[in-house]
Amino acid sequence: MSLMHQSQVSPQPADTGRVMSWLLLATLPGITVLTWHFGLGVLTNVLLAAGLGMGLEALVLRLRRRRVRPVVADNSALVSGVLLGASLPPGTSLWLILVGMVAAIVVAKQLYGGLGQNPFNPAMVGYALLLISFPAAMTQWSAPHGIVGPDGLSFGDLLVRIIGFNSELDGSLGPDAWSGATPLDAFKHKPEAMLASEFWATTPLPEGTQTAWRNVALAWLAGGTLLLYKRLIGWQIPVSMLAAMGLLATLLYAADPSHHGSPAFHWLNGAAVFGAFFIATDPVSAATSRKGKLYYGAGIGLLVVLIRDVGAYPDAVAFAVLLMNFAVPFIDYYTQPRTQGHARPNRGIKVVQLDDEEAS
């Protein structure tokens, strides 16, 4: 019943709306670099997803007869939209974004009771649904042509793509010329007989692709560092996730460098860094205690490398996060801290504690 509150007496952001605003600010470097390398399609993704997120949230709140304004003002729907938008291939069709945002905001979040009640990360629910339902569209990443490079999409083309139903391009520009595989995708489909060194020597990707992805990862890292610095996220999940990825990747790479990616390859490609700082750290769906967060992050890291190397998908952050969301209640029961005055922490879900006398 404290009558004082941190948000009223300290400059630290201590208010859900402001926390979310800082989170949005921290996504800017990542989005900027993505746009720089992959064109305006990134921006349209982010803006459309964010707008749809806010709109859908307001719509559902109205249907649920809740007050709209204060809830939308917590910016959480905006954040979900921005995060989903940033994970989609540039210039994704409006319809796909709508499907994804309905899954994220309406199904994964509001149907469970709104902010704080969702067991799964909304943005990743939307992403996973799109990836499973529309695999072709979702794996068509554009080559890094720059914002308005000579080979890039013209504004009109972009518009056609967005309004078109399934992101197919019209005949004027062949899909091969415009789009390209991501490094993870390319490496995944490397011929079995070919060694990794030979594969990269064939320059399987458009020029600059690797550099572009590395820069994007570093930009997300910069944003993540801001979050850590402002203490909006704990260090536990990003560190344990990236460390677990590095550990498993190192083991696999050491065992067979010709068919497995190096740790650096895993870290700097795909959504690893983005996921570590912006997706896995979603507090609502993550494990609760500090110790639990370490296990949670490590689980995501291991699953990401396993699915990338052995699974059917080139990248796996969404699936890894969702799978670990399932494990959260279990982790929570087994990672309670030792309360002051107790000899050891409680573990497990036993509820009736028998007294010594009663037990004997």
Partner 1 sequence: MAKAFDFPGGIHPPARKTRSTRHPIATAALPKRVVLPLGQHIGQPAEPCVAVGDRVATGTLIARAQGLISADVHASISGEIIAIESRRVPHPGGLSETCIVIEGDGIRDDWERLPALDWRHTDDATLHARLTASGVVGLGGAGFPTQVKARVRERHAIDTLVINAAECEPYISADDMTLREHAADVLEGARLMAHLSGAERIIIGIEDDKPDAAAALKAAIKAGNRDSLEITLKAFPARYPSGGEKQLIKRLLNREVPSRGLPADVGVLCHNPGTLRAALQAVRDGRPMVSRIVTLTGEALARPGNVEARLGTPMTELLDAAGLDEASLARLVMGGPMMGMELAHLDLPLVKSSNCLIAASTIELPAPPVEQPCIRCGACEEACPASLLPQQLYWFAKSQEHDKAELFNLFDCIECGACSFVCPSHIPLVDYYRAAKSDIRARAFEAQKAEHAKHRFEFRQARLAREAAEKDARRQARTQASRRPKAESAKAASKEPPTTSQTSSAASSPSANDADLKSLRIAHAAAKAAVRKAEKVLTRVSQSGGGQGQAQNADEIQDLEVQLATARENLAAIEARMAAAKEAAAEATSDSSMDTDRERAE
Residue numbers at the binding site for partner 1 (CB under 8 A): 1-9, 13-16, 18-19, 70, 74, 76, 114-117, 234, 283-284, 286, 288-290, 293, 332, 336-342, 346, 349-353, 357
Nearer to partner 1, 145 or 293 (CB): 293
Nearer to partner 1, 1 or 193 (CB): 1
Nearer to partner 1, 44 or 335 (CB): 335
Instruction: Specify whether the CB–CB gap between 296 and 287 falls below 8 A.
Output: yes
Neighbouring C-beta atoms of residue 359, cutoff 10 Å:
7
Q: How far is the CB of 60 from partner 1 (least distance, A)?
A: 14
Q: How far apart are the first and last CA of the chain?
A: 42
Nearer to partner 1, 190 or 291 (CB): 291
Q: How far is the CB of 8 from partner 1 (least distance, A)?
A: 6
Q: How far is the CB of 28 from partner 1 (least distance, A)?
A: 21
Exposure b/e, 43-81, CB count within 10 A at least 16 = b: bbbbebbbebbbbbbbebbeeeeeeeeebbebbbbbbbb
- Bridge partners for 179 per DSSP: 142
Nearer to partner 1, 204 or 234 (CB): 234
Instruction: Specify whether the CB–CB gap between 225 and 235 falls below 8 A.
Output: no
Q: How far is the CB of 228 from partner 1 (least distance, A)?
A: 14
The answer for 71, left when phi > 0, alpha when psi is -120 to 50, beta otherwise, is alpha
Q: Where are the beta strands (DSSP E) in the chain?
A: 141-142, 179-180
Nearer to partner 1, 262 or 336 (CB): 336
Q: How far is the CB of 183 from partner 1 (least distance, A)?
A: 34
Q: How far is the CB of 87 from partner 1 (least distance, A)?
A: 21
Q: How far is the CB of 129 from partner 1 (least distance, A)?
A: 23
Which amino acid, residue 172? S
Q: How many residues does the chain have?
A: 360
Of 187, 142, 136, the closest CA to residue 314 belongs to: 187
- The contacts of residue 337 (CB under 8 Å, 6+ apart) are 289, 290, 291, 345
Nearer to partner 1, 225 or 288 (CB): 288
